[in-house]
Amino acid sequence: MPRFLAALCALLLVAAAPPALACGWGGENEGDDDDEAIVIGADGKPVVEAAADPAALTDLGNLQRGNSELAAAVRSYRQAAEQGHAPAQNNLATMYEQGLGLPRDDAQAVVWFRRAAEAGFAPAQHSLAMMLREGRGAERDAGQAARWLRRAAAGGHHAAFVDLGALYWAGEGVAKDPVEALACWTVAGEAGAAAAAEPRRRALAALTRAQISAAKERARVLRTTE
């Protein structure tokens, strides 16, 4: 089955920016363990046996979503999510968040992102953090947003460093720390997160040489503790 990388979430640093959407689809990244779980029937269409494992259902949901069979994708994701499969929980949350195949419901998106986040699925941790930061589907809580961003970043989800840096730069939910912000943006940029480029450029222009040097050292530490 064709595989592709999910796009990284872009950070918009202005208050009037539209809300950030979910940070990725489960079952489509190289690190997922559910490769080639779909069974193809005699008619050439994908099928899943009644007792199929949740990875197969998630793969099926991804295929259905790719074919614009959104209601069917929701059913597949839900069946897998109810079995506790974190990538499916993340995907079901994203369907709720974006109103794909069912009415948009930010509160339900938070429920399912949280379940996947608590299971350690880093993209869901990032998405949950952004919803908490923006007060979508739950009470606004920048402190909890920072906590989940740290966990996502520590799990290797480098896009989370972009948003974590924004919190440190603004002192939102954390103590204001421009050195930590620059370190976060440095790690994200080195990992290929394009959204880190502009805030990093601005930070480099605003900070002193001593602060920049400290940020470089802090970035080195962050890389070794991911």
Report the CATH number that the domain containing residue 90 is assigned in CATH: 1.25.40.10
User: Predicted confidence band at 17 (pLDDT cuts at 50, 70, 90)?
Assistant: very low
Percent of the chain with pLDDT over 70: 79
Total of domains in the chain? 2
Please check the confidence at residue 207 and state whether its pLDDT lies above 90: yes
Q: Each residue of 153-166: pLDDT tens digit? A: 999 999 999 999 99
Which of 110, 133, 157 is the last residue in one of the domains? Answer: 157
**Helix or strand run (H / E) with residue 39:** strand 39-40
pLDDT at site 23: 72
What's the CA angle centered on 24, arms 23 and 25, to 5 degrees? 150
Q: Each residue of 49-79: pLDDT tens digit? A: 544 799 999 999 999 999 999 999 999 999 9
Same domain, 73 and 119: yes
- Domain membership of residue 96 (yes or no) is yes
pLDDT at site 25: 78
Which of 139, 157, 175 is the last residue in one of the domains? Answer: 157
User: Predicted confidence band at 113 (pLDDT cuts at 50, 70, 90)?
Assistant: very high
pLDDT at site 16: 38
Same domain, 203 and 190: yes
Same domain, 31 and 139: yes
Same domain, 126 and 203: no
- Domain membership of residue 6 (yes or no) is no
* Among candidate residues 162, 90, 142, 78, the one with its CA nearest the CA of residue 120: 90
pLDDT at site 185: 98
pLDDT at site 50: 43
Same domain, 153 and 203: no
Same domain, 109 and 205: no
Same domain, 96 and 176: no
Same domain, 222 and 112: no
pTM of the model: 0.80
pLDDT at site 101: 98
> Which domain, by its residues, includes 30?
20-157
- Domain membership of residue 189 (yes or no) is yes
Q: What mean pLDDT do residues 27-46 have? A: 54
Least confident of 4-18, 61-75, 112-126: 4-18
Same domain, 51 and 131: yes
User: Predicted confidence band at 20 (pLDDT cuts at 50, 70, 90)?
Assistant: low
- Domain membership of residue 2 (yes or no) is no
Four-point Cα dihedral 41, 47, 51, 54, nearest 10: 140
- Domain membership of residue 106 (yes or no) is yes
- Domain membership of residue 14 (yes or no) is no
Same domain, 81 and 181: no
Same domain, 138 and 190: no
Which of 157, 172, 191 is the last residue in one of the domains? Answer: 157
DSSP string for 56-101: HHHHHHHHHHHTT-HHHHHHHHHHHHTTT-HHHHHHHHHHHHHTSS
Same domain, 127 and 218: no
- Domain membership of residue 45 (yes or no) is yes
pLDDT at site 39: 58
pLDDT at site 33: 46
